[in-house]
Structure 1
Amino acid sequence: MRKIIFNLVIVIVVFSCNNKSNSSHQKIKDTNNVKKEKVLIIGKTDDLGAFKYISVLNASSASLNHGNCITDRKVIGDSIVMEIDSILEPQLLHLSSWSKDFKDSTTFMAKPNDTIIFEIKNKRFSIKGENAAEHNFYSSLKDSTPRYMHNPYKGNILEYKSRVDSIYRKKVDFFNKYVRRHNITSKSFVDFVESGLKYSHLYELIIPRTKKNGDSVYLAGPEELFTIIQKEYSSKEQLFNLKDYIGDISIDDFKDESHLSIGSFKSALSVLVRNYFDASDHPSYSKEKFLAEKAVIEHNFSKKIKEYAMASLITVYHWRGFGHSKQSVSFFKNEINDYGKQYPNSMYTKEMEDILEDLNSFDLKFPGSALNTKLLSKYGDTLTLGEIFNRSNKRIRVIDFWASWCPPCISEIQKAQNFRDKLSVENNVEWIYLSIDEDEKKWLKKSEELESYLNVRNQYLVINVTNSPLVRYLKVHSIPRYIILNKQNEIVLNNSPHPSDSIAFKRIINSIE
């Protein structure tokens, strides 16, 4: 097969994950002159339709979203040739295709200057030639061991951990036997796979799969680990031990720069900085929490890892809605521009430019879809957020997202009552309490228990919270969450300090004109 393909006269179309942005807003300099090696991918098929929609996903690429790299290709007869030019270190590539009668994929580790030879036969991908055992490992692993995507969180976090640990042990056991059976001696391959399995295991623990996507596939949902722990342990006397749950992991396990080519390393690093290595108790996705996570990154990692970790930090905060308010947008833009100055040749330039473009175009007023969100009052009436706003004008408003199962939410409601009452009188502040409970009865029951602390008039349940336009617009992924609006119903701060932090909270209220 190799002889036939190399005797063909072919035109190779080169592609790269790192497209430059053409946007007209302020740009971050991108002059990455690092020499990138090539990987040649050569294939043959018994189903020509399979080449029509063939694609390559670089799961370890520069792109923070794992780089969907779809190449142009040259097909001659029953053969195809593709070239990737963005390989610096061993990478995990995902090759997939489909046609009327075919749908399959294969994942393999590619090294700089590799030539990968594959075949599609009898509706299956297989990799041939030199190092075929290494290149076929991930497909064999997928076929021979349970998959994390089929392992959902079912309401007990420790039971979920037990299943995740079991899947991890099976994958490690399969890998060790595979290496012995195929007499694989490549140290780089062994380290790449072992490390990737370890980081994937950690990521699965810290980001439980709660969102169903198809018959048996589950994705990481909007509920973070600490939100799940709040739900489970709100009525229990024992405390949750995060260190026992994560295991024997330290920040030193994330200092090997060569592991940046492993996609699961990057994913695990980001979530562990946020949820484990930074022990501060600042509100999630606030300015204070951002600076605390930044300090962990700046003080512990080399420049190359910091470049990725800071870009990931900025990207995740943007996705969670940070910067979409008057009090955070300037700070966030400055942080992004400072990143550009510190890493002028960053491979994450396009992601940073896209975020700046979004921040420059953000409208501080609620869109119609959010204003039309359906809410249920304690008395059974259905109304919209816009109708609540229209009942009274020229008032500062605070939206408090909470739930009956959230102890920190309830604690804030109770201990900040006097402070809230004082702001209502002295600063003309209106408090609007929006529960994200899925169970109406539990919301009503807890609301009755908190009757002496809450304003009965402004208590509502968000109807169909999973698909709520308001929740999506404000990116409410964790609670308690406080959004402060000015007298024109513009967002002043979309993730404010807790009211119990009265000094900081009052300072924000006093700054509103």
Structure 2
Amino acid sequence: MRKIIFNIVIVIVVLSCNSKNNSNHQKIKDINNVKKGKVLIIGKTDDLIPFNHFNVFNTSSASLNHGNCITDQKVIGDSIVMEIDSILEPQLLHLTSYSKDINYRATFMAKPNDTIIFEIKNKRFSIKGEKAAEHNFYSSLRDSTPRYIHNPYKGSIIEYKSRVDSIYRKKVDFFNKYVRRHNITSKSFIDFVASGLKYSHLYELISPRTQKNGDSFYLAGPEELFTIIQKEHSSKEQLFNLKDYLGDITIDDFKDESHLSIGSFKPALSGLIRNYFATSDHPSYSKEKFLAEKAVIENNFDEKIKEYAMASLITVYHWRGLGNSKQSVSFFKNEIHEYGKQYPDSEYTKEIEDIIEDLNSFELEFPQPALNTKLLSKHGDTLTLGEIFNRSNKRIRVINFWTSWCPPCITEITKANSFKDKLSVENNVEWIYLSIDEDKKKWLKKSKELESYLNVRNQYLVINGTNSPLGRYLKVHSIPRYIILNKQNEIVLNYAPHPSDSIVFKRIIDKINIEN
């Protein structure tokens, strides 16, 4: 129940937060410990602006996509009370906010019925209270040890592993010293952190960071571990030993259902199933590979982990293009229907329903309002998407939604340029670049910078962007976004893989040519 009825005592206590005496916070905690499955975050500030911008994200939540999980928020004077609902296991929460010239962030483990007390004073964010040492750990870890997001794969998987292992050892060493220094004895905290560090380490190994995002951040790119290994070792006589690379890890290390609440457990499990535990030689993201991974999940895990792993499997395979042909879309819909029957009250229902909706758009023609969406050319001309389609026939078309401020968009445009040129010539593919920038000048400026990569004739600014009939019809909520159309201008794949994932992308284009 989203509506929260606050005990009158809480209000009285919060109203008195101007006092520097922290005993009031303890009273709030004592009162609310009876609220099972809820966490309170209580703070006071000398700058009220952050109170308008607080977000708390739960990367261990049931949803495969993590959103703001604050279920109620009240500001009274210089104090704030935020409530997080349904915390039934220890969870990792990420709090963010900002003021005029500073960003605030904190990461902490929250247990059921916890109260986290913080203060913003003189532009500094600090967590107070009797569990301050536990609640401050992750922020201290971030500030005191190297971060994986700054550690990219540079062309040698062995050298990459060496750096990942070094970062992991430094994090474990910091953790052990931190526990001793602060005399932390909570078994649940120690187990949660130690397991989380282990799973994060495994995820970094199984999903090398190859995609630059901004000036110094790197994300796991479309090229997965096996692809990287094949590129590096295909000409070498000695085979790459994946067991040595990952260490002494077995499927039994992922059978503890309580670890589902540890954020790094889920991506590590999914990556290992795909790249290690499922040993079939079938092509990546094929129907046969899907069934091989499904067998690993069904034969090794109990219901809660199985429910998550199958939802993740369906989501990833949808993103990577399964369902892009008449044969595979029928197979994929049947698999999703089977999942729904097995888990009628699944925690991941929203994500599965979104996939079904997308699959139902397979080979659908654009509605007239979407075709009539107004587009602005670089030369200032206005035309519609329908007019672009009418200019040439019998071509496969790829629509790319992007913006001038999106680093992954720019990376995709530049990185896959030669591959896209090859598809244009050999497979008769037409690329249509649609910017959803709100600022026309920024679009034109970035377009000029990228003129050697972009097709001048086929790049446009979408009038009203995501709020246009086209943006609403296609549900353009994230970028970069690629949509593949067949030669009849029917939607073959609404969420296509990125062209930099050239093997998967080429396979989709080849299927369209065969079926047409």
TM-score relative to the length of structure 2: 0.69
* Greater Cα offset, 69-78 or 277-286: 69-78
Instruction: Give the distance between the partners of 2:14 and 2:426, measured in 1 at CA.
Output: 77
Q: Which amino acid counterpart does residue 257 of structure 2 have in structure 1? A: E
> What are the within-5 Å matches in structure 2 for residues 168-317 of structure 1?
168-317=168-317
Match for residue 479 of structure 1?
A: 503
CA contact (8 A) 1:326 1:364 kept: no
SS across alignment from 2:271: helix
Q: Assess if the C-alpha contact under 8 Å between 1:117 and 1:128 holds in 2.
A: yes
Tell me the equivalent position of 1:132.
132
How far, CA to CA, are the matches of 1:461 and 1:235 in structure 2? 35
Q: 1:174 offset after TM fit, Å? A: 0.3
> SS of the residue aligned with 2:507?
strand
Distance 2:65 2:165 in 1: 26
* Partner Cα distance (2:63, 2:426) in 1: 48
Q: What is residue 7 of structure 1 aligned with on the other side? A: 13
What secondary structure, in the 3-state scheme, does the structure 1 residue paired with 2:210 have? Answer: strand
Equivalent residues of 1:52, 1:99 under 8 A apart: no
Aligned letter for 1:475? P
Distance 2:308 2:257 in 1: 10
Structure 2 unaligned residues grouped into runs of 5+ = 1-8, 17-34, 372-387, 399-413, 432-451, 455-478, 485-493
Q: 1:199, 1:86 → 2: CA distance?
A: 24
**Structure 1 length-normalised TM:** 0.70
Please state how far the C-alpha of 1:341 moved relative to its aligned partner.
1.3
Identity value in percent: 74
Structure 1 residues 467 and 332, CA gap change in structure 2 (3 angstroms): closer
What is the rounded CA distance, in whole Å, between the counterparts of 2:341 and 2:417 in structure 1?
49
Q: Distance in 2 between matches of 1:305 and 1:443?
A: 39
Q: Using the alignment, how far apart are the partners of 1:485 and 1:158 within structure 2?
A: 34
Aligned residue in 2 for 1:115: 115
Amino acid at match of 2:14: L
Secondary structure of the residue aligned to 1:358 is helix
Could you tell me how far 1:120 is from its partner in structure 2? 1.4
Whether the 8 Å CA contact 2:63–2:348 is kept in 1: the answer is yes
How has the CA–CA distance of structure 1 residues 163 and 364 changed in structure 2, closer, same or farther, with 3 Å as cutoff? farther
Letter in 1 for 2:497: K
Query: What is the CA deviation profile of residues 61-105 of structure 1, one whole-angstrom value per residue up to 9, with x for unaligned ones?
Result: 011123442555211111000111121100000111001132120
Q: Which residue of 2 aligns with 1:165?
A: 165
Secondary structure of 1:184 counterpart: coil
Shift of 1:461: 13
**1:385-404 alignment to 2 at 5 Å?**
390=394
Partner of 1:152: 152
Q: Which residue of 2 aligns with 1:38?
A: 38
CA pair 443-362 structure 1, distance change in 2 beyond 3 A: closer
Aligned counterparts of 1:351 and 1:443: Cα–Cα separation in 2: 31
**Which residue is equivalent to 2:346?**
346
- For 1:482, the aligned partner's letter is R
Greater relative contact order (Cα 8 A, min sep 6): structure 1 or 2?
Answer: 1
Please, which runs of 5 or more residues in structure 1 have no aligned partner? 11-34, 369-383, 392-396, 400-435, 448-455, 493-508
Matched, 1:360 2:360: yes
Aligned residues: 398
Report 1:469-508 matches (<5 A): 474-475=496-497, 477=501, 479=503, 481-483=506-508, 491=512
CA distance in 1, matches of 2:292, 2:148: 31
Residue 345 of structure 1 deviates from its aligned partner by: 1.8
